[in-house]
Amino acid sequence: MLSNYIVNPRTQQQLRSGPAGAHLEAFTDWLADRRYTISTIRSYIYAANRFMVWWTCANDGEVLPSPNRSSVAAYRTHLAEGGDGGRRVHERSNAYCGARRFMSFLRQIGALPHTNSDGRPQLNLEQRFRHWMRQHRGTRAITLHGYGRVVDLLLKDLGTEPSRYTAGQLRDFVLSQSQGYSHSKADTVVTAVRMFVRFLVSSQECKDNLLHAIPRVAGWRLASLPRYIDPADIERIICACDTSTPLGARDHSILLLLARLGLRAGDVAGLRLGDIDWTQSRIRVSGKSRHTAWLPLPQDVGNALLHYLTTGRGTVIHDGVFVTSCAPYTPIIARQVSSTAERAIRRSGVKTPSLGAHLFRHSAATAWLRQGLTLQAVGTLLRHHDVDTTAIYAKVDGDLLSQIAMPWPGEGA
């Protein structure tokens, strides 16, 4: 309750009667549930009030529509220019953080419309596309975020009347968004547009023949080598974590999941407490879609998880296995898993070809092949739907390649 953090009755009344007053009680409880400290909650209450006062009084006193992300950015500029009573730098930063948290709270409870990265409200067509992808394709949030950005640009460029789209317009848009970028970037654009068109066709909002308007991006299959390091270096990176601290215990568990099971960053971030079957020594992974798979839980991974859950995670309202190390204590996202891997690699001093979480997946697959596992077995562990996807790892097994390599013409004659 607000009165638990703001003791003065007169101040309480002023806050409740202010432009943020209708939401301050619930905002206070929301912060407390996420284990913010008392001083932080108090400062964020004041910050939310100041932000809404500034917002409603902007533009010479004109009352403006509901704030959005761009308004928070404008407020940050206002603070940086010495606004808000000439407060010190750390106080201005706290005011901005409090405003951001208040906006996140309002958006979560549905008091604000969902907006795009530039602060514009999401169009109804884009919202329906996101819902269709979640409902019928099982698309994960991080993938849907990337698709949504492409669709947002498409709607800005071609308009919001799909019945008028032509194949030429769609191809021109894909080319404009792909030229000068990497193959993976272009492939993301193409996939997003193709899925959006498929959604439009399924809802009978555009012509059926547009399904074939966008071809796949050309590229050489298996043209590159996977980036990996030796098992000894993997162990050095894992051992660099200080498991006596909550953050070190969390990082140690994450690295073991990446190294022993070859999980993706999104797999680790998406783990829930119910996904760990302690009695059967197995763990459930959802992967890139809603299809789940049970994988064996090695002893050292299970020990690390148990240590983290009992000493480092603490009591939080979420069921995510891994949570952030400071308030708000929310489940981590894939980007934070990659940051964990990068932090550990730099701390260990091991020289690696890359710094992300996928390095551990590549290294695990390469080690499994060298230990005698078949491509099919490795593909099963990595949850590949096609064995051709796993075939790239065969190129790094020199012993196997030497057994099948043909002699150079004339050699040994």
C-alpha neighbours within 13 Å on the C-beta side of residue 282: 9
Residue 185 structure tokens: 């970037």
Cα→Cα distances 396→180, 228, 301, 393, 413, Å: 30, 9, 27, 6, 29
Q: Distance (Å, rounded) from C-alpha 66 to C-alpha 227?
A: 48
Q: Distance (Å, rounded) from C-alpha 86 to C-alpha 76? A: 13
Q: Identify the helix (H) or strand (E) that includes residue 309.
A: helix 299-311
Which of 406, 403, 405, 398 is closest to 369 using CA atoms?
A: 398
User: Measured between alpha carbons, how far is residue 209 from residues 151, 201, 204, 213 in Å?
Assistant: 19, 9, 12, 7
Q: Tell me the two tokens of residue 323.
A: 């949570």
By C-alpha distance, which of 399, 403, 402 is closest to 366?
Answer: 399
49-85 pLDDT, tens digit per residue, is 998 888 877 655 454 456 666 778 888 888 887 665 5
pLDDT by residue for the chain (413 residues), tens only, comes to 788 888 888 888 888 888 888 889 999 998 888 888 888 999 999 999 998 888 877 655 454 456 666 778 888 888 887 665 555 554 567 888 888 888 888 888 877 655 554 555 555 788 889 889 888 887 877 788 888 889 989 988 998 889 899 999 999 999 998 887 777 788 889 999 999 999 999 988 888 888 888 887 766 555 556 788 899 999 999 999 999 999 999 999 999 999 999 999 989 999 999 999 999 999 999 876 667 889 999 999 999 999 999 998 877 878 899 999 887 888 898 889 999 999 999 999 999 988 889 999 999 988 998 888 888 888 888 888 877 777 777 666 555 555 545 566 665 54
Taking the mean position of all CA atoms in its chain, how far away is CA 30?
22
**Could you report the per-residue pLDDT of 94-111, keeping only the tens digit for each?**
888 888 888 888 888 877
Structure tokens at 127: 């919202």
CA distance 18 to 27: 14
Tell me the catalytic residues. 264, 288, 358, 361, 384, 393
Tell me which DSSP letter residue 331 carries. B
Q: How far apart are CA 350 and CA 304, in angstroms?
A: 22
Write the burial class of residue 16 (CB in 10 Å: 0-12 exposed, 13-18 middle, 19+ buried).
middle
Please provide the DSSP assignment of 112-175 as one string.
S--B-TTSPBPPHHHHHHHHHIIIII---HHHHHHHHHHHHHHHHHH-S-GGG--HHHHHHHHH
Least Cα distance to 186 among 217, 225, 221 occurs for 217
User: Could you tell me how many helices (H) and strands (E) the chain has, helices first?
Assistant: 20, 3
| HSE-up of residue 265 (Cα within 13 Å, Cβ side) | 18
- Cα gap 190→204, rounded to integer Å: 21
Q: 114: closest CA among 140, 137, 141? A: 141
Task: Give the chain's domains with CATH numbers.
Answer: 2-108 (1.10.150), 124-212 (1.10.150.130), 231-364 (1.10.443.10)
The C-alpha atoms of residue 269 and residue 258 are separated, in whole angstroms, by 11
Sign of CA dihedral 367, 368, 374, 376: negative
